Structure 1
Amino acid sequence: MASREPPAVPVDSERPWHAAFPAPTAAASIVTCETVLSWMQAGRLPGNDFVLVDLRRTDYEGGTIHGSINLPAQSLYPTIPSLYTLFSTAGIKNVIWFCGSSKGRGTRAAGWFADYIRAQNNTTMESSVLEGGIKGWVASGNEYVELTDGYDASIWKSS
């Protein structure tokens, strides 16, 4: 299987962090908080057939969705080939990316990963963005908050 390695590009402090990397060309699918909750309630846990990736770095506070991994978006792009290898070897079918609202980092990361999946001619893995991000997740009700590791209500009251 041919591998397309993304170039390692240094981040310039005068430009937005993502400007150092190409814009994603693929549109990632959207997964709702309700869908992820239903998977988890049905016993499908992150790490088995789907992975939740929290892209927050400096705003990583208030908790995260149970079972998610934290990979700050600013360092993500060069690691995509390694992540793809790990996820595909593990049989992961869906990688779900999120940030605060999933309108910037989440969408961009999901697009980059979708581009990479397509370049690998993989038709079984999907790259998705969590609609509403972590803010949407914790605002959706108690059943979501109960599945938020390290939940700190004081952080979300000001959001």
Structure 2
Amino acid sequence: MSAGPETGAAAAPEAPWHAAYPKPKTSEPASLSSEEVLALLKGRSENAASNDFVLVDVRRNDHQGGTVRGSINLPAQSLYPSIPTLYGLFKAAGVKQVIFYCGSSAGRGTRAAGWLADYLAERGDKDLQSVLLKGGIKGWVAAGPEFTEWMDEYDETAWS
């Protein structure tokens, strides 16, 4: 008989990606509705020089179907070690609000917003705010055409 893998032995479960980083102390970050974020986007389109906020899409492998217009993609899986650098960039640019989202904003988005909120609290920074887009990109798309018009690379077939 040839030696092979043991049958019946359970493989050790793989730790989730976020287990490598501290759990955010801020477990329920401030949030904005899709309507509130849309109002910010419309305000920016009227004042192109405005850089008051940054939208951060933290999806990685599920980053298809489009993204909220003007978002930057910083996957949550690699975000934590970049927070000090991002903080410096946001402060230098005069950003007042960083708005995170993922698919539903119930996991990665909440974690990312919590990490930045913790970082801001540690520094006593009350000028920059870390918030979450309620419902994530799925909620944004479900809100209808007025919202999907404000998406880059929107692909309706990815949402059906």
Question: Could you state the TM-score of these two structures normalised by the residue count of structure 1?
Answer: 0.87
Asked if 1:20 is matched to 2:20, the reply is yes
Counterparts of 1:117-156 in structure 2 under 5 Å? 117-156=120-159
Q: Which residue identity is paired with 2:123?
A: Q
| 1:43 Cα offset (Å) | 3.0
Distance 2:70 2:86 in 1: 17
Asked if 1:114 is matched to 2:131, the reply is no
Rg larger for: 2
Q: Which residue identity is paired with 2:93?
A: A
Q: Which residue identity is paired with 1:40?
A: L
Counterparts of 1:82-101 in structure 2 under 5 Å? 82-101=85-104
Indicate the residue corresponding to 1:37 in structure 2.
Answer: 38
Asked if 1:61 is matched to 2:64, the reply is yes
Aligned length: 145
Distance 2:82 2:42 in 1: 31
| 1:25 Cα offset (Å) | 0.4
The runs of 5 or more residues in structure 2 that have no matched partner are 1-12
Distance 1:39 1:141 in 2: 17
Distance 1:144 1:83 in 2: 27
Indicate the residue corresponding to 1:4 in structure 2.
Answer: none
Distance 1:65 1:152 in 2: 12
Distance 1:92 1:149 in 2: 21
| 1:42 Cα offset (Å) | 2.4
| 1:57 Cα offset (Å) | 0.5
Query: Would the alpha carbon gap of residues 46 and 25 (structure 1) be closer, same or farther in structure 2, given more than 3 Å must change?
Result: farther
Secondary structure of 2:31's counterpart equals strand
Question: Identical aligned pairs, as a percentage?
Answer: 55
Q: CA RMSD in A?
A: 1.6
Equivalent residues of 1:46, 1:52 under 8 A apart: no
| 1:47 Cα offset (Å) | 7.0
The runs of 5 or more residues in structure 1 that have no matched partner are 1-12
1:48 to 46, 51, 54: 51
Decide which moves more: 40-49 or 51-60. Answer: 40-49
Indicate the residue corresponding to 1:7 in structure 2.
Answer: none
